[in-house]
Chains A and B, each alone.
Chain A
Amino acid sequence: MRSLLRTISRRDLLRQTAVAGLASAANFIPAVPAIAQKAKVKVGLLLPYSGTYAALGHNITDAMKLGLAEAGNKLGGRDFELVQLDSEADPAKAAANTNKLIVGEKVDFLSGPVHSGVAMAMAKIAREEGTLTIVSNAGANAVTREMCGANIFRTSFSNWQVCFPMGTEMARRGLKRVVSVTWNYAAGKEMIGAFREGFEKAGGSVVKEILIPFPNVEFQANLTEIAALKPDAVFAFFAGAGAVKFVKDYAESGVKAKIPLYGAGFLTDGTLPAQGAAAEGVFTTLHYADSLQLPANLRFRDAFKKATGRDADVYAVQGYDTAQLLIRAMEKVKGDTGATKELIRAMEEAKFDSPRGAWRYSKSHNPVQDVYLREVRNGDNAVVGVAEKEVSDPGTGCGMA
């Protein structure tokens, strides 16, 4: 199905591109923009399909497709088409790519991306153009704060949301002095910033915030530094390859035996097979856990495995919920993509059982969700409890909040 959809959408695009080329080379041929078939609803996906984050892009996309297929492959009774565009997780190309989907492809809905830098460009253009946009991963706080907009929704999390509860939780556990460590980039700073806020509010103190040049994965020097500081615990945020490397180095350097490791959920999500025993006993907080024993989660994981042969993860859940939101909103307006106000209201009011728990939105269009405390046990993120129930991002700076 994917390849078929792709071919159709590509052909349109190809024609448009050719027209643009011709129009410039010989101006006598009038440029006729390929008019999208009004019968089909167009959903643009700006996700990384190549490079370091490709796995995330694929899981989000495949889960969306799964959700849409479960709904009979219709949106509000209409056929639809997914227009996939490789974001390469490159903020330098983000604006042009967003523009290509919104203006070039004239998509009715836009979804993506993984990278926060890409999200910032996407949110800006989406706000100007008014395209209904669902951010399906990037956690940049600003998306549902300063940059929030009536037409911008998020199905993932805000960086603040997943880390603030960990601060409270660690203080509750009697930890007093903590070192936090992350890459020196925006998401990392937001994560450890939120952690600090929660931890210090609850009486703890962050003795040092270590920022490591992005995307450097040579951690040894900083681990030695941590060992010398002898804190009660370490709070870390890394994702993907960096998370694998950090957790392994942390264990192998012998620090783990003395200083327990805590982190944002991404530290141990989708990376456990690669981390192996090194991850055992690491505590993290996230708005989801693979092992959540909720009926919706069990059903979803089963279906995803059947459809793709892979195990679902938090990214897949976010993609799946994006589809749920689209399906529900389009049903409400009976497929009328022009009814923007109604669509927005339908999304705001959508209530359903997400694999992560009950779904509802905050005023700034960020999900209000439970943040789970998980511990790695036998190669699995076991849910130990709920770090904080119904966490809602404060939405500071958002006019709607």
Chain B
Amino acid sequence: MDIGTIAIQLLNGLQYGLLLFLIAAGLTLIFGILGVINLAHGSFYMIGAYLAYWLSEKTGSFALAIALALPAALLLGLVVERLAISFLYQRDHLYQVLLTYGLILIFNELQRIVWGNDVHGVAVPAILAGVVEITESQSYPVYRLFISAICLLVAAAMYVAIHSTRIGMMIRAGSSSREMVQILGIDVGRLFAIVFSVGAALTAVAGMLAAPINSVYPGMGENVLIISFVVVVIGGIGSIKGAFIGSMMIGLADTFGRVMVPELSSMVVYALMAAVLLWRPSGLYGVKA
């Protein structure tokens, strides 16, 4: 591989990683603070994508679609938290896995009832269409750069929010020790509801942003679910920083794995996760379980 290609592959890996980060950040927060393994997390990704498709068809504007879909996703997260997840806080992981698995089935069927079985595409907004020429044979789509920029922005905003707001303080306290939150006299119910719906919305945003480059199709949530769990576990449950590093690692490992060891590429990310866990049984930045 020449330098130009390596540079572009690096860009590919980082961009993929950044999108994964958006999904994994919500997952790790829910994991770390609520203590809930949410298998239905991928469903929010799918719903985000479908909302982006549906609303941009209706309104004719991708930006408007996102503006409308975002509050809808927050609300959906809140409803799911109140109606199902809130019953799981005291329960064993096993039941959380099971209940949220049931939610996947329900969301998938609802999606089919509302939006049907077809694969849909969402057009890239005109101003973001086009490519940047990097070398004479290689170019890079502008929209992907845009996604990366948005993801970085969200990551920065999360960093600021977590380190300098009151709710951020609660989240930090909560992810290092859940008892701590109770001790500090925080309204746990409210904190949990907020964290869950923000986490769900982050994932939905990832789905919306990915809609124009991805196709929108039934069952798309499951494809990202396992991989985002891998990211969270590598980074350490509850750690946003870990999720960030983990997504970069997975993005790069997957990208370079495919090009350099194609015959093993399906296993690369799993092997990476196993290796990290053998080295650090609680992930890179995880609090020891």
Contacts and interface: CB of A to CB of B under 8 A. Distances in A.
Interface string A247-276: 011001110001000000000001101111
Contacts of A147: none
Nearest to A221: B255
A128 interface: no
A184 B266 contact: yes
B164 interface: no
A244 B259 CA distance: 22
A54 interface: yes
Contacts of A218: 16, 254
A228 interface: yes
B85 to A, nearest CB: 25
Contacts of A212: 258, 265
A210 interface: yes
A240 B258 contact: no
Contact of A220 (B16, B123, B216): B16
Interface stretch (B7-15, B168-176, B200-208, B274-282): B7-15
B118 interface: yes
Given A224-B8, A227-B137, A228-B137, A248 B213 contact: yes
Given A220-B16, A224-B9, A52 B217 contact: yes
Contacts of A211: 262-263, 265
B223 A215 contact: yes
Nearest to A230: B137
A227 B12 CA distance: 13
A196 interface: no
A17 to B, nearest CB: 21
Contact of B262 (A210, A224, A230, A275): A210
Interface residues of A, number: 40
A274 B120 contact: yes
Interface string B8-28: 110011011000000000000
Contact of A244 (B117, B119, B133): B119
A292 B108 CA distance: 35
B177 interface: no
Interface in B172-224: 213-220, 223
Contacts of A241: 119, 215, 217, 220
Name, among B109, B120, B262, the residue most crowded by chain A CB atoms within 10 Å (CB to CB).
B262
B141 A274 contact: no
A335 B209 CA distance: 56
Of B108, B121, B140, B254, chain A has the most CB atoms within 10 Å of the CB of: B121
B131 interface: yes
Contacts of A21: none
Interface in A288-326: none
Given A54-B112, A224-B8, A244 B258 contact: no
Contacts of B131: 252-254
Give the most central of B8, B133, B215, B263: most A CB within 10 Å: B215
Contacts of A248: 121, 213, 215
B213 A252 contact: yes
A239 B13 CA distance: 24
A98 to B, nearest CB: 23
B16, B124, B265 — which one has the most chain A CB atoms within 10 A of its CB?
B265
A213 interface: yes
Contacts, number: 120
B130 to A, nearest CB: 9
Give the most central of A214, A221, A230, A248: most B CB within 10 Å. Answer: A221
Interface string B101-138: 00000001100100011111101100001010100011
Interface string B237-251: 000000000000000
A3 interface: no
B144 interface: yes
A244 B121 contact: yes
A224 B213 contact: no
B285 interface: no
A24 interface: no
A25 B133 CA distance: 71
Nearest to B257: A221
Nearest to A212: B258
A274 B121 contact: yes
Nearest to B124: A252
A202 interface: no
A122 B121 CA distance: 34
A288 to B, nearest CB: 19
Contact of A228 (B15, B138, B213, B258): B138
B139 interface: yes
Given A220-B16, A252-B131, A258 B137 contact: yes
Given A213-B266, A222-B258, 15 more contacts: A50-B108, A51-B108, A52-B217, A55-B116, A220-B144, A221-B256, A224-B259, A227-B5, A227-B139, A249-B213, A252-B213, A253-B141, A254-B139, A254-B141, A276-B123
21 contacts: A51-B219, A52-B218, A184-B265, A211-B262, A220-B255, A221-B255, A221-B258, A221-B259, A224-B5, A224-B259, A225-B258, A228-B2, A228-B5, A230-B137, A240-B119, A244-B121, A248-B121, A273-B120, A273-B121, A274-B119, A274-B120
Interface of A: 50-52, 54-55, 58, 184, 210-218, 220-222, 224-225, 227-228, 230, 240-241, 244-245, 248-249, 252-254, 258, 270-271, 273-276
Name the 5 nearest CB pairs between A and B, nearest first: A254-B139, A274-B121, A244-B215, A241-B217, A213-B266
